[in-house]
Structure 1
Amino acid sequence: MTHHYRAPSFGFTLVELLVVTATVGIMGSLLLPAVHQARETDRRLQCANNLKQIATALHNYHDAHDAFPYGFRFGTTQDRDCWFQRLLPYVGEEQLYEKYEAANPDYVWKAPAEVRQKPLPLFMCAADPAQPAQGGADTTEAFQGSYVGLHGNDFLGHQSSGIFYLDSSTSLTDIRDGAAHTLLMSEVIARGSDVVEGAWGAGGSYWGGAAGGGAYGFSAKESPNTSVSDALPMCKSNSWPNAPCENTVGGASPTGGPTELYARSYHPGGANAVLADGSVQFIGNSTDRVIFQAMGTIAGGETDRP
C-alpha cells in the first residue's frame, strides 16, 4: 500500500488571524500615545535648549556692553531695529549681521531679502506647526521667530517695568527683584506662516514689527496660554488655534491701541520661558496670575515670587 506524505500546514486559521489582528491593533493603540508623548517631550526639550542658548547669547552681549540689548529703537536708518539684530553676532550669525549692517536700510524690513527672510532654527519652536514662519512688515516677507523678550506686566508701549522696550538698556543690577525671579524671554505662537501685510504682534516679524510689540516683547499680565485674547492694532489671524486675537483701536500704545501679547505655545500645559539668570522654566497654564505678573517686573518689590 502506498502512503502519501502530507506536509503539516503552518497557515493561520481565520480565528487565529482575527486574534492576531486585534492584538496588533490594541498594541498600536497603546503605543501611539507614548510615541506622541515622546515626540512632544523632545520638542519641548529642544525648545528649552533654544531658549537656553539665546539666554547665553544675551548674557554674552551683556558682558560686552554692560546691559542687555534694547527692545527696539527708531532712527533715520535701521528704523525698528530690535534686540534680534543686535544678538546675531552672538548666536553664530556674524555674516548675516555684517550683510545687514552693510545694507544699512532706512527701515529694517527693507533689508535684502536674503537677509531678512533667512530662517534661523535657534529661534523656532518645533512644536509650532507654522514654523518656519514668515511675517509681514509693510509689503515684505521676513523671518518670524517663536521667542520674544519680557516687556513688562501691562500693556506694551514705549516704556515698561520689564527688560525690553524702546531704547532700553537694562542691566542685571537694574533687576532688583532678583534675576532668578524675573522673566527674560518666553515663547509665543506664530499664527500661521502666511504673510499678512501690516500684521502686528506674534504675526509680525523680527524685521519691522517692533513698534507693535510682538517682535520684541510680551506681557506677563496674563498667565501662559490664557483665554484672554491678545489685543493688537492688526492681528495676523484672530482664529489661529491657541492664539485668540482681536483688533483694537484707541488707547496709548505706540500704534494708537492698547497692545497686549501674551506667552503662548503648543506644548501641552504651559510654555517655556527663560529667567534673567539664564535658567529655563516650563511655566504652567495654571500658574497664579499674580505670581506671573510679579515675575514680569524688574523692580516691583513683590514678596510672593516663586
Structure 2
Amino acid sequence: MSSRRNKGFTLVELLVVIAIIGILIGMLLPAVQQVREAARRTDSMNRLRQITLATHSYESSHMEFPPSVVTVGGQSKIRGSIFLQILPYIEQQNLLNQTIDTGDYYGVYREKVSFYANPCDVSLGAGGTIEHTPWGEYGLIGYGANYQALGHIRGTTSDVDKMLRGFGNLTDGSSNTVFFAERYMSMRNAAADSNNDNWYYNIWAYGEEYWYEWNPVFGAYPEDTENPEIAHRFQVLPTEGNADATVDPLKAHAPRSSGILTAYGDGSTHMIQAGVADEIWWAALTPAGGEVLDARQ
C-alpha cells in the first residue's frame, strides 16, 4: 500500500516564502518611493512653468509684468500678490471677480486654489488651506515670486508706474533670471498659534506692507544689507511647527535635500542644487545686476 505525500507547504517552506516576499518588498519600496518623488517633482515643475507662462500672458496684455506684490491699490492694480493678478490666465477669472468690490485680496484670500499647492511641500503635504485662530481660514501656496525681478508697488499710488517692469528690464536676460521658486506653505516657528508673531503662512493672495513675512515672495527683505547674497539664500529642508523651528519666512525653501525647483523668466524650469554658491543664487535673482552666473542644474 503506497503512501501519498501531502502537497501543501510545510511550515518551514511557508516561512521561507514569507521571508523572500519581505526581502522583495524591501528592495522595491525605495524604487517606488523614488518614482513617486519624481512624479511629484515633475508635477511641481509643470505648475511653476504654467505660472510663468501666465505671467507672460499678463505681460502681453498689459505690456508689463505683474508685480510680485502690490501693497497699495490704484490705477489698474489690485492690492495683493502676483498670484492674484494672474488668476485670469490660469482659468480663475471668476475668483478675480470677487475682488472687484474691495479692490484688494480680502475677497479671496480664504479661498483654496488647488493649482497653487506644491505636491512636494513637506509643511502641509497636499493641503491648500489652514485654519488659524482667531483669524479663520487662509488659502495657501507652495511657491513664491522673486521680488528682485518682478518688483513691488508700495507707498502711494504715484509709485505705481515707476515700479512696473517688462522684458526690457531684464538686461541679464530672461533665461538667466529666476521668476518663481518653491516656498513652504506653512512656516510656523512656534508649537501653537497663540503667538501670531511666530505663526506665518504663505498666503497666495496676500499683499501687505506690514506682516510682510506672509507675502508669497522671496528675495525682498532685509532691503539694505551689505551681504544680500547671503541674506536671501534659500533654505534646504528647514524645520517648522515647533519652538526650535529653523524656517525663515522671508526666504524660498527647498522641500528636499537635493535642491530647489525654480522657473526662469523664459518659462524654463530647473533644479538649483542645494550647495550652489551664495553669489550665484543672488545673481540668478537680480534681473539687471550684470553678473550672469549659471545656477541651474
Matched, 1:188 2:160: no
Does residue 289 of structure 1 match 2:278?
Answer: yes
Does residue 120 in structure 1 map to residue 113 in structure 2?
yes
**Distance across 2 between alignment mates of 1:289 and 1:135:** 35
- The Cα shift of 1:135 comes to 7.2
The CA distance in 2 between the partners of 1:135 and 1:187, in whole Å, is 22
- Measure, in 2, the Cα distance between the counterparts of 1:295 and 1:100: 33
> 1:207 and 1:200 mapped to 2: Cα distance?
20
| Matched residue type, 1:143 | G
Distance 2:205 2:194 in 1: 14
Structure 1 position 117, deviation (Å):
2.4
1:104 aligns with 2:102: yes
Contact (CA 8 Å) 1:200, 1:214: kept in 2 or not? no
1:151 pairs with 141, 147, 154, which one?
A: 147
Residues in 2 aligned to 1:209 and 1:237: alpha-carbon distance in whole angstroms: 26
Aligned to 2:268: 279
Q: State the Cα deviation string for residues 236-257 of structure 1 (Å, max 9, x = none).
A: 86545xx524xxxxxxxxxxxx
Letter in 2 for 1:244: V
Q: Write the distance in 1 (CA, Å) between the matches of 2:174 and 2:256.
A: 25
Change (3 A) 1:75 1:302: closer
Q: 1:301 aligns with which of 281, 284, 290?
A: 290
Letter in 2 for 1:15: V
Change (3 A) 1:135 1:45: farther
Q: Deviations over 1:49-79 (max 9, x none)?
A: 0001111100000111111112222347897
Shift of 1:300: 0.5
Structure 1 residues 237, 203: CA separation in 2 closer, same or farther (over 3 Å shift)? farther
| Contact 2:146–2:218, Cα closer than 8 Å, also in 1 | yes
- Structure 1 residue corresponding to 2:151, chosen from 140, 159, 164: 164
> 2:34 maps to what in 1?
37
Q: 1:139 to 1:201 in 2, by over 3 A?
A: closer
Q: TM-score, normalised by structure 1?
A: 0.76
Q: 2:174 aligns with which of 176, 179, 198?
A: 179
- For 2:234, the aligned partner's letter is P
Distance 1:188 1:8 in 2: 65
Q: How does 1:49-128 map to 2 (within 5 A)?
A: 49-75=46-72, 80-101=79-100, 103-104=101-102, 108-109=105-106, 111=107, 115-128=108-121
Q: Distance in 1 between matches of 2:256 and 2:54?
A: 24
Percent of aligned pairs with the same amino acid? 24
Question: Who is 2:13 aligned against?
Answer: 16
The change in CA–CA distance for 1:57 and 1:19 in structure 2 (over 3 A counts) is: same
C-alpha separation in 2, matches of 1:100 and 1:244: 31
Unaligned runs of 5+ in 1: 153-161, 230-234, 246-259
CA distance in 2, matches of 1:237, 1:80: 32
1:44 deviates by 0.5
Amino acid at match of 1:189: Y
Deviation at 1:197, TM superposition (A): 7.8
Distance 2:8 2:271 in 1: 53
Q: Secondary structure at the match of 2:8?
A: coil
Distance 1:202 1:67, change over 3 A: farther
One-letter code aligned to 2:186:
R
1:254 aligned residue: none
On the 8 A contact 1:204/1:236 being kept in 2, the answer is: no
Equivalence for 1:157: none
Q: 1:210 to 1:276 in 2, by over 3 A?
A: farther
